[in-house]
Chains A and B, each alone.
Chain A
Amino acid sequence: MNKEGKIQVWQDYQKEIADDRYFYVRSCIRQNFFPGAEQTFLKILRSELGKDIYENPHHTTCSGIGYHSDIVPFDTIQTIVARQFALMTEAGYQNLAVSCITSFGIYNEIIETWKEHPAELEKVRNYLKSATGRKFEIPQNVAHAGDIIYKFRENIAARKKFSLINQQTGKPLKFVEHIGCHYSKMFPSKGVGGAEFPYVLVGMIESWGGEVIDYPERRHCCGFGFRQYLVMSNRGYSVSNSRKKFESMEPYKPDAIVSNCPGCPMFMDRWQYVIEEMEGKTYGENGQGIPVLTYEELAGLVLGYNPWDMGMQMHQTNVEPLLNKMGIPYNPDLKYATKEGRQIGKPTMVSCGC
Chain B
Amino acid sequence: MKHIVIIGGGIAGIETASALTDAGHWVTVIEKEAQVGGKLNNWSCLFPTFTPAEKIIGELQGKCRNKDFSILNKTEVRTIHRQKGKFSIATSNHQKLEADAIVVATGYELFDARRKEEYGYKIYDHVITSADLEELLKPGNDITVAEGKHPKRIAFVHCVGSRDEKSGNHYCSKVCCITGVKQAIELKKRLPEAEIFCFYMDLRMYGKHFEELYREAQEKYDIQFIRGRLSEASEKIDKSLLIKSEDTLSGRPLKMNVDLLVLLAGMEAGKGTAATAVICGIGCEESGFLKTTDSFLKSNFSEQEGIFLAGSCTAPMSVNDTILHARSAAMEVNLWLKNH
Q: Which of B117, B124, B234, B235 contacts A9 (CB 8 A)?
A: B117
A2/B118 in contact, CB under 8 A: no
What's the least CB distance linking A6 to chain B, in Å? Answer: 6
User: Within A13-58, which residues are at the interface with B (CB < 8 Å)?
Assistant: none
B271 within 8 A of A: no
Q: Which of B120, B122, B123, B237 contacts A252 (CB 8 A)?
A: B237
B242/A216 in contact, CB under 8 A: yes
Report Cα–Cα, A8/B113, bound state, in Å.
Answer: 13
List chain A residues, Cβ under 8 A from B235: 1, 214, 216
Report Cα–Cα, A196/B232, bound state, in Å.
Answer: 9
Interface string of B303-328 (1 = CB under 8 A from A): 00000000000000000000000000
Report Cα–Cα, A251/B236, bound state, in Å.
Answer: 10
A195 within 8 A of B: yes
B204 within 8 A of A: no
Report Cα–Cα, A5/B235, bound state, in Å.
Answer: 14
B123/A2 in contact, CB under 8 A: yes
Report Cα–Cα, A214/B124, bound state, in Å.
Answer: 10
Interface string of B113-137 (1 = CB under 8 A from A): 0100110111111000000000000
List chain B residues, Cβ under 8 A from A8: 114, 122
List chain B residues, Cβ under 8 A from A223: none
A218 within 8 A of B: yes
What's the least CB distance linking A243 to chain B, in Å? Answer: 15
List chain A residues, Cβ under 8 A from B123: 1-2, 5-6, 9, 197
Report Cα–Cα, A195/B235, bound state, in Å.
Answer: 17
List chain A residues, Cβ under 8 A from B120: 5, 196
Report Cα–Cα, A218/B114, bound state, in Å.
Answer: 19
A217 within 8 A of B: yes
Known A-B contacts A2-B122, A216-B242, A252-B237; A9 and B232 likewise in contact (beta carbons under 8 Å): no
Interface string of A190-219 (1 = CB under 8 A from B): 000011110000000000000000111111
List chain A residues, Cβ under 8 A from B242: 216-217
List chain A residues, Cβ under 8 A from B237: 215, 251-252
Q: Which of B114, B118, B125 contacts A1 (CB 8 A)?
A: B125
What's the least CB distance linking A241 to chain B, in Å? Answer: 13
A196/B118 in contact, CB under 8 A: yes
- Chain B interface: which size bin? 10 to 19
What's the least CB distance linking A324 to chain B, in Å? Answer: 25
Interface string of A251-264 (1 = CB under 8 A from B): 11000000000000
Report Cα–Cα, A214/B125, bound state, in Å.
Answer: 13
Report Cα–Cα, A45/B242, bound state, in Å.
Answer: 40
A1/B234 in contact, CB under 8 A: no
Known A-B contacts A197-B123, A216-B242; A5 and B114 likewise in contact (beta carbons under 8 Å): yes
B125/A2 in contact, CB under 8 A: yes
User: Within A109-123, which residues are at the interface with B (CB < 8 Å)?
Assistant: none
List chain A residues, Cβ under 8 A from B234: 214-219
Report Cα–Cα, A251/B237, bound state, in Å.
Answer: 8
Known A-B contacts A1-B123, A2-B123, A251-B237; A219 and B232 likewise in contact (beta carbons under 8 Å): yes
Q: Which residue of B lies closest to A6 (CB)?
A: B123
Report Cα–Cα, A196/B117, bound state, in Å.
Answer: 6
Interface string of B218-254 (1 = CB under 8 A from A): 0000000000000010111100001000000000000
List chain B residues, Cβ under 8 A from A218: 234
Report Cα–Cα, A118/B38, bound state, in Å.
Answer: 49
List chain A residues, Cβ under 8 A from B125: 1-2
What's the least CB distance linking B166 to chain A, in Å? Answer: 10
Q: Which residue of B lies closest to A194 (CB)?
A: B117
What's the least CB distance linking A211 to chain B, in Å? Answer: 15
Report Cα–Cα, A89/B319, bound state, in Å.
Answer: 62
What's the least CB distance linking A333 to chain B, in Å? Answer: 40
List chain B residues, Cβ under 8 A from A197: 117, 123
List chain B residues, Cβ under 8 A from A217: 234, 242
Interface string of A235-257 (1 = CB under 8 A from B): 00000000000000001100000
Report Cα–Cα, A215/B232, bound state, in Å.
Answer: 13
Q: Which residue of A lies closest to B238 (CB)?
A: A251
What's the least CB distance linking B185 to chain A, in Å? Answer: 29
List chain A residues, Cβ under 8 A from B232: 196, 219
What's the least CB distance linking B320 to chain A, in Å? Answer: 35
What's the least CB distance linking B239 to chain A, in Å? Answer: 8
What's the least CB distance linking A183 to chain B, in Å? Answer: 15
List chain B residues, Cβ under 8 A from A215: 234, 237
Report Cα–Cα, A5/B124, bound state, in Å.
Answer: 9
List chain B residues, Cβ under 8 A from A252: 237
What's the least CB distance linking B330 to chain A, in Å? Answer: 42
What's the least CB distance linking A246 to chain B, in Å? Answer: 15
What's the least CB distance linking A120 to chain B, in Å? Answer: 24
Report Cα–Cα, A197/B242, bound state, in Å.
Answer: 16
List chain A residues, Cβ under 8 A from B236: 216
Q: Which residue of B lies closest to A196 (CB)?
A: B117
What's the least CB distance linking B145 to chain A, in Å? Answer: 14
Report Cα–Cα, A218/B125, bound state, in Å.
Answer: 17
List chain B residues, Cβ under 8 A from A4: 122
Q: Which residue of A lies closest to B115 (CB)?
A: A12
A1/B124 in contact, CB under 8 A: yes
List chain B residues, Cβ under 8 A from A9: 114, 117, 123
What's the least CB distance linking A205 to chain B, in Å? Answer: 18
What's the least CB distance linking A292 to chain B, in Å? Answer: 21
Report Cα–Cα, A195/B122, bound state, in Å.
Answer: 17
Interface string of A212-236 (1 = CB under 8 A from B): 0011111100000000000000000
Interface string of A172-198 (1 = CB under 8 A from B): 000000000000000000000011110
Report Cα–Cα, A216/B240, bound state, in Å.
Answer: 10
Report Cα–Cα, A251/B238, bound state, in Å.
Answer: 10
Q: List 9 A-B contacts (CB under 8 A).
A: A1-B124, A1-B235, A2-B124, A2-B125, A5-B114, A196-B117, A214-B235, A219-B234, A252-B237
Closest 5 CB pairs of A and B: A5-B123, A196-B117, A5-B122, A216-B234, A216-B242
Q: Mark A residues whose CB is within 8 Å of B.
A: 1-2, 4-6, 8-9, 194-197, 214-219, 251-252
Q: Contacts A9-B117, A195-B117, A216-B234 known; list 6 others, CB within 8 Å.
A: A2-B122, A5-B121, A197-B117, A215-B234, A216-B235, A216-B236
